[in-house]
A and B are shown apart, each in its own frame.
Chain A
Amino acid sequence: MNAIILTAAWGVIMMFGGVFFKSKATPKYWAIVGILLAIAAVFAEIGYGESYFNVDLKGLLHFNSFNLTFIAVAYICTLFFFLLNGSDIEKVGNHVSEYFALIFFVLCGVAIAATYSSLLTLFIGIEILSIPLYILTGSDKRNLKSNEAALKYFLMGSFSTGIMLMGIAFVYGGNSSGTFLVANMGIGQGQLPVLIAVGLVLLLVAMSFKVSAAPFHFWTPDVYDGAPTVFTSFMSTIVKAAGFMAFLRLFDNVFGAAHSQWITLVAIITAATLFIGNITAVFQQSVKRMLAYSSIAQAGFMMLAIFAINDTAKEGIVLYTAAYSLATIGIFAILIKMNDYTVEGFNGFGKAYPLPAVAATVFLLSLTGIPLTAGFQSKFFMLMAALKNGQHTWLIIFAVLCAAVSAYYYFRVIQAIWFKEATTATSVADPAVFTAAFKTMLVITVVLILALGLFPECITNWLHY
């Protein structure tokens, strides 16, 4: 509860603060303070069960160690996002504090989507999550691509919202107890009633859209490519992970008992997502677009958690959130500083800026899933969860072969960084952008990724509080 109220309130503070902030740099510090407060509050709730707000929730929200840990991880990743990208958010436009306010509203949505225990709060959470994002996508107002992306995202997003609502209506109408509350839904193991089955498929489609799983991924590359790069970084990591969290909890708590009836459907979606994401990423010339497709590919791996639905899957999704978000935020933070977003733009980067180049390499290795990085552990947990499930072993083999394909496009960037000489006379990046503070943050991020790669239990143990 702490998280929801604090982030919502802080969003309002940031919004009105815009009137009073003199300098463009001020909102960043306020935002960092806000997120630190939120993190502290979440930890207080995990560790000591300390909730500062006693509200009668009527069973609409449910807090346990699993979803609180997820919120904590998502907020910590946001902290890293602020610290690495804070000054780049200032460059997007003039309304800096509004951008931060919108991000805080998204964070409020993240918390609701992670803790809902009624289909109504699920819907509200997903909407609070999405609407500020439509605005952020279009925040580069003079850029045609940004406008196009925002409109596309908004249209497609509203469409999927409609489908989700319809799904919720079917599930509501179909369950015998006539309730929105997840706990009382009582969907059993037997043959699903037609209404419930239709609702399930509609919800599956809507959630697949939100997490950009194939074949509902078509908006992703355009939106991620068109949005200002800082916000792409935020959207493709924390927000997507929250989508998965809602997805996982929906299919675990509501439809969990009927697992065997929808598992094949999810397996097909997973395979399609892995295949399309990985294969299309291979052909991209722009690193930003490549990362957009790679985020679809990574979503395929996260789909394995939905496919498996067990305790390891829960640990896996939290770990995946941390690993994938940190690495992606890191690589985007470096990408923003580059003069040229194509793969060739990275030529000679290693020679010019060794430290950021080492960091970029670690991020890419983590995304590939090389041992010693957090990326390996998260993939490892996902594979373990999927294998524990015991069905559709072909999917797991397929997933690891796709992971091998992913090495191709991540390593192309590594090759450009280290093994190719800069071809053009212009420098790869302006030396001034790599400040000491930025470098320090990169080092901290790298250390965190390696630490999670060695000791993933420092996160997964929180789940067992």
Chain B
Amino acid sequence: MFGNYITIPHLLIFIPLVTGLLAFFVKQEKLVKGWALCSSLVTLLVAIAGICYSKNEALSGYAYSYEWMKYMGASFAVILDGTGRLLTLLTAIAFPVIFIATGRYSYKSAPAYFGLMLLAQAGLMGVFVAADALLFYFFWELALIPVYFLCSRWGGEKRIQATFKFFVYTFAGSLLMLVGIIYVYLHTAATPSADHSFSLYSFYTATLSVKEQNALFWLFFIAFAIKMPVFPFHTWQPLAYEQSPTSVTMVLSGVMVKMGLFAVIRWLLPVFPEAAARFDNIVIGLSVVGIVYASLIAIRQDDLKRLVAYSSIAHIGLMCAALFTAKEVAAAGVMIQMFNHGINIIGLWIAIDLLEKQFAVRQISQLGGVAHKAPVLTILVVIIAFANIALPLTNAFVGEFMMFAGLFSFNIWYTVVAGISIILAAVYTLNMLQKVFYGETNTLTAATTEIALSEKLALAAIVVMIFVLGIYPQPLLDLTKESVSLLLTRFK
């Protein structure tokens, strides 16, 4: 619609990028808050426009491309396929919701805070639209840097160590991926201007022997597994979630972990389909172990943030397992679950943030009886928590059902073991609800006040999405249908 020069994917990257850079120079806190919110709302509009207007290009087909490093065969190529649209929409929804929900609080050096948030958004958008391996790598790292600074500057007490562990972990993973990218690149066909090419299409058609595929698969998979995180690469995650400021935790868990899953869908499975099929049992096995392991640990957590962090590991593990089954129903389930999980977990974090800001504690054992004084908050949180357990009528049910169905047809035993996590999720979530919101009030929670209108709106928006997508998930399925079938033509 904008001609061939500036297209929707470009706008999705450049709006947050430019506004983020400008935000550093806005001096007043109020002004910069408004600026960031406006920017994120504009991005949201563009993302919605992307869903409505963008042409339905096939994954391997047409991409909007500029020459970048001509003699290297790298280009600034972006595409917006179904998966990309879904995740850019998630990113575009997440940021305004976060800004609104945390709008009441003031941050020290606010311009830097909001500037970095917007830069992180630009990086994430870039990852989801990049159609060139080098460009993808650029954004993959660039999304990390602002988040690193955000966590280390505005986080909790042990923030510096926690974020640094997170950073080094992911950095090491990405460097391994970089070696993999270069290796595949050296095996791509020549283009008119360069010997090899970084484009998505030439990566899909690279000639790699079986042995090479096997080794490269692991180079890529480790990078993505750290990001998701899949057991046993998850050790950075609970600490990082706990120590980050909650708004950043939302970005991390709501959107950023989807980078790992998305990269598996866009790069790993289509580029190394045979290796992926060969190692499917290892990956699914690790994921299933991780699901049960994380669920069990979640039961024992007293800290709300850690509880949600471990529950997130379990959910992501299920998505990763479902992806490697190579079943259509499971892949479609993963697609919508990526979106739903992002929405639900951001809702949970908002609730935790509200509790923490009010009581200055996150320990389940110290809270209780919040429902007496804050009924609206309680109702909204209970619904979001139900979505976290994937109760029918909520959005997560659809996705989980489809993923389990796929896993079932792959191997029944995996389903049995992973299925335990449904029960465990109910245990820890309901336990948390009971102890925090119901029961007797104590001295700390006696003075509970109801949440403000803006926070109600933010949570209500999430609850509405939970119900709408729980009852009528078809739009999401339609959106990603093509991507799923394309993925499965390559990865059988």
Name A residues whose Cβ lies closer than 8 Å to a Cβ of B: 365, 370-372, 380, 383-384, 387-388, 396-397, 400-401, 403-404, 407-408, 411, 415, 418-420, 455-457, 460-461
Q: Which B residues are CB-close (under 8 A) to A388?
A: 186
B100 within 8 A of A: no
Cβ-defined contact, A419 with B179, below 8 A:
no
A371-B142, A404-B172, A415-B152 given; A384·B70 CB < 8 A: no
Cβ-defined contact, B183 with A365, below 8 A:
no
Q: Which B residues are CB-close (under 8 A) to A371?
A: 137-138, 141-142
Residues in B41-88 with C-beta less than 8 Å from chain A: 68-72
Residues in B146-182 with C-beta less than 8 Å from chain A: 149, 152-153, 159-160, 164, 167-168, 171-172, 175-176, 178-179, 182
Alpha-carbon gap, A400 to B172, bound state (A): 7
Residues in B118-139 with C-beta less than 8 Å from chain A: 137-138
Q: Which of chain B's residues has its CB closest to A385's CB?
A: B182
Alpha-carbon gap, A456 to B134, bound state (A): 13
Cβ-defined contact, A384 with B171, below 8 A:
no
B361 within 8 A of A: no
B430 within 8 A of A: no
Name the residue among B72, B137, B159, B176 with the largest chain A CB count within 10 angstroms: B72
Alpha-carbon gap, A396 to B69, bound state (A): 23
Alpha-carbon gap, A387 to B219, bound state (A): 14
A418-B149, A419-B153, A456-B69 given; A372·B179 CB < 8 A: no
Q: What are 18 A-B pairs with beta-carbon distances under 8 A? A: A365-B145, A370-B145, A371-B137, A371-B142, A372-B138, A372-B142, A383-B178, A383-B179, A384-B182, A397-B176, A400-B172, A400-B178, A401-B175, A404-B168, A404-B171, A404-B175, A415-B160, A419-B152
Interchain nearest-CB distance for B245 vs A (Å): 13
For A397, give its contact among B70, B141, B142, B179 (CB under 8 Å).
B179
Cβ-defined contact, B71 with A461, below 8 A:
yes
A401-B172, A460-B71 given; A387·B179 CB < 8 A: yes
Cβ-defined contact, B145 with A400, below 8 A:
no
Alpha-carbon gap, A455 to B68, bound state (A): 7
Interchain nearest-CB distance for B249 vs A (Å): 18
Cβ-defined contact, B175 with A400, below 8 A:
yes
Cβ-defined contact, A457 with B160, below 8 A:
no
Q: Which A residues are CB-close (under 8 A) to B178?
A: 380, 383, 400
Q: Which B residues are CB-close (under 8 A) to A397?
A: 176, 179
Alpha-carbon gap, A243 to B164, bound state (A): 35
Name the residue among A383, A388, A404 with the largest chain B CB count within 10 angstroms: A404
Alpha-carbon gap, A151 to B182, bound state (A): 45
Q: Which B residues are CB-close (under 8 A) to A461?
A: 71
If over half of B's interface residues share one DSSP class (helix, strand or loop), that class is named, otherwise mixed; here it is helix
Alpha-carbon gap, A403 to B164, bound state (A): 15
Cβ-defined contact, B145 with A457, below 8 A:
no
For A403, give its contact among B68, B69, B175, B182 (CB under 8 Å).
B175
Interchain nearest-CB distance for B231 vs A (Å): 21
Alpha-carbon gap, A415 to B68, bound state (A): 33
The total of Cβ contacts below 8 Å across the A-B interface reads 63
Q: Which B residues are CB-close (under 8 A) to A370?
A: 141, 145
Closest A-B pairs by Cβ, 6 of them: A404-B172, A400-B175, A371-B138, A371-B141, A419-B152, A387-B182
Alpha-carbon gap, A404 to B174, bound state (A): 9
For A396, give its contact among B72, B152, B179 (CB under 8 Å).
B179
Cβ-defined contact, B145 with A383, below 8 A:
no
Q: Which A residues are CB-close (under 8 A) to B185?
A: 384
If over half of A's interface residues share one DSSP class (helix, strand or loop), that class is named, otherwise mixed; here it is helix
Q: Which B residues are CB-close (under 8 A) to A387?
A: 179, 182-183, 186
Alpha-carbon gap, A371 to B167, bound state (A): 14
For A411, give its contact among B153, B167, B172 (CB under 8 Å).
B167
Interchain nearest-CB distance for A443 vs B (Å): 14
Q: Which B residues are CB-close (under 8 A) to A401?
A: 172, 175
Question: Could you say which interface size class chain B belongs to?
Answer: 20 to 34
Interchain nearest-CB distance for B97 vs A (Å): 28
Name B residues whose Cβ lies closer than 8 Å to a Cβ of A: 68-72, 137-138, 141-142, 145, 149, 152-153, 159-160, 164, 167-168, 171-172, 175-176, 178-179, 182-183, 185-186
Alpha-carbon gap, A1 to B183, bound state (A): 40
Instruction: Name 7 extra pairs, CB < 8 A, besides A400-B172, A400-B175, A404-B175.
Output: A401-B175, A404-B168, A407-B168, A415-B160, A415-B164, A419-B159, A455-B69
Alpha-carbon gap, A371 to B72, bound state (A): 16
Alpha-carbon gap, A306 to B460, bound state (A): 62
Q: Which A residues are CB-close (under 8 A) to B153?
A: 418-419
For B179, give its contact among A400, A411, A460 (CB under 8 Å).
A400
Q: Which A residues are CB-close (under 8 A) to B168?
A: 404, 407-408
Alpha-carbon gap, A419 to B159, bound state (A): 10
Alpha-carbon gap, A400 to B178, bound state (A): 9
Interchain nearest-CB distance for A222 vs B (Å): 29
Cβ-defined contact, A411 with B164, below 8 A:
yes
For B72, give its contact among A403, A404, A415, A457 (CB under 8 Å).
A457
Q: Which B residues are CB-close (under 8 A) to A460?
A: 71
Q: Which A residues are CB-close (under 8 A) to B159?
A: 419
Q: Which B residues are CB-close (under 8 A) to A396?
A: 179
Interchain nearest-CB distance for A115 vs B (Å): 25
Q: Which A residues are CB-close (under 8 A) to B186?
A: 384, 387-388
Interchain nearest-CB distance for A28 vs B (Å): 33
Cβ-defined contact, B152 with A457, below 8 A:
no
Alpha-carbon gap, A397 to B216, bound state (A): 12
Alpha-carbon gap, A171 to B219, bound state (A): 43
Q: Which B residues are CB-close (under 8 A) to A419?
A: 152-153, 159-160
Alpha-carbon gap, A408 to B161, bound state (A): 11
Q: Which B residues are CB-close (under 8 A) to A383?
A: 178-179, 182
Q: Which A residues are CB-close (under 8 A) to B149?
A: 418
Alpha-carbon gap, A388 to B153, bound state (A): 41
Alpha-carbon gap, A238 to B439, bound state (A): 71
Q: Which A residues are CB-close (under 8 A) to B70?
A: 457
Alpha-carbon gap, A461 to B72, bound state (A): 11
Q: Which A residues are CB-close (under 8 A) to B68?
A: 455
For A400, give its contact among B138, B141, B176 (CB under 8 Å).
B176
Alpha-carbon gap, A461 to B183, bound state (A): 23
Alpha-carbon gap, A457 to B71, bound state (A): 8
Q: Which A residues are CB-close (under 8 A) to B167?
A: 407, 411
Interchain nearest-CB distance for A420 vs B (Å): 8
Q: Which B residues are CB-close (under 8 A) to A457?
A: 69-72
Alpha-carbon gap, A455 to B186, bound state (A): 20
Alpha-carbon gap, A397 to B183, bound state (A): 12
Q: Which of chain A's residues has its CB closest to B71's CB?
A: A457
Name the residue among A365, A388, A400, A455 with the largest chain B CB count within 10 angstroms: A400
Interchain nearest-CB distance for B99 vs A (Å): 23
Alpha-carbon gap, A383 to B72, bound state (A): 14
Alpha-carbon gap, A380 to B68, bound state (A): 15
Alpha-carbon gap, A408 to B172, bound state (A): 11
Interchain nearest-CB distance for A142 vs B (Å): 40
Q: Which B residues are CB-close (under 8 A) to A418?
A: 149, 152-153
Q: Which B residues are CB-close (under 8 A) to A372?
A: 138, 142
Alpha-carbon gap, A119 to B183, bound state (A): 36
Q: Which of chain A's residues has its CB closest to B219's CB?
A: A397
Interchain nearest-CB distance for B48 vs A (Å): 29
Q: Which of chain B's residues has its CB closest to A361's CB?
A: B149
Name the residue among A371, A380, A408 with the largest chain B CB count within 10 angstroms: A371
Q: Which B residues are CB-close (under 8 A) to A455?
A: 68-69
Q: Which A residues are CB-close (under 8 A) to B141?
A: 370-371
Q: Which B residues are CB-close (under 8 A) to A411?
A: 164, 167
Q: Which A residues are CB-close (under 8 A) to B138?
A: 371-372
Alpha-carbon gap, A9 to B388, bound state (A): 76
Q: Which of chain A's residues has its CB closest to B145's CB?
A: A370
Alpha-carbon gap, A396 to B178, bound state (A): 11
Cβ-defined contact, A407 with B142, below 8 A:
no
